[in-house]
């Protein structure tokens, strides 16, 4: 998580959105997008690079929208209606599912979108 944040934040072309995106709101950006809030159902984020959401993703996120297969989507609660990375699309299965309780990252592995749990455990320096 920290690593991801560092890359996203240190990259030149990153924007910071300090609010929750509500239904009908949309962010389009050529680089990375960091959101301090949630992405609600009906809202969308389209980024050329990575997307990091310090909150819940319940809407649509598209990372690497202009062809970057290495783009990732990271969120504290990754529960999108639909998730896109580069040319890949995945959607939540039909039916009711419990929301994830731990941060996760989605990335392309072997021609498919894979969601990995990221551990926040480890050393903390004060």
Partner 1 sequence: MGEVLVITSGKGGVGKTTATANIGTGLALMGKKIVMVDTDIGLRNLDVVMGLENRIVYDIVDVVQGNCRLKQALIKDKRFENMYLLPAAQTKDKTAVSEEQMKNLSDNLKTEFDYIVIDCPAGIEQGFKNAIAGAEKAVVVTTPEVSAVRDADRIVGLLESSGLREPKLIINRIRPQMVKKGDMMSMEDIIEILAVDLLGVVPDDESVVVSTNRGEPAVMDKASRAGQAFRNISQRITGEEIPLMNLEANSGWLEKIKRWVTKS
Which positions touch partner 1 (CB under 8 A)? 23-26, 41-44, 81-82, 89, 91-92, 94
For the CB of residue 54, give the shortest distance to partner 1 in the complex, in Å: 22
Is the CB of 43 or the CB of 73 nearer to partner 1? 43
CB of 44 to partner 1, least distance (A): 6
Among 9, 52, 40, 15, CA closest to 30 = 15
Closer to partner 1 by Cβ: residue 40 or 74: 40
Cα dist. 109→48, 69, 74, 93, 115 in Å?
18, 9, 15, 19, 9
Nearest distance in Å: CB 30, partner 1 = 18
Among residues 49, 46, 50, the alpha carbon closest in space to that of 4 is found at 50
Residue closer to partner 1, measured from CB, 8 or 106: 106
**Residue 120, SS3 per DSSP:** coil
Q: Give the 3-state secondary structure of residue 81.
A: coil
**Cβ 83 to partner 1 shortest distance, Å:** 10
């Amino acid at each position: 998580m920290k690593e991801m944040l560092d890359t996203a934040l240190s990259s030149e072309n990153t924007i910071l959105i300090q609010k929750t995106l509500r239904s009908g709101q949309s962010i389009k950006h050529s680089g990375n997008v960091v959101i301090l809030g949630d992405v609600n159902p009906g809202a969308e984020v389209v980024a050329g690079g990575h997307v990091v959401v310090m909150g819940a993703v319940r809407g649509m996120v598209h990372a690497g929208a202009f062809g970057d297969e290495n783009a990732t989507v990271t969120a504290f609660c990754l529960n999108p209606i639909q998730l896109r990375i580069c040319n890949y699309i995945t959607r939540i299965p039909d039916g009711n599912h419990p929301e994830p309780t731990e941060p996760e990252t989605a990335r392309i592995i072997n021609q498919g979108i894979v969601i990995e749990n990221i551990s926040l455990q480890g050393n903390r320096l004060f």
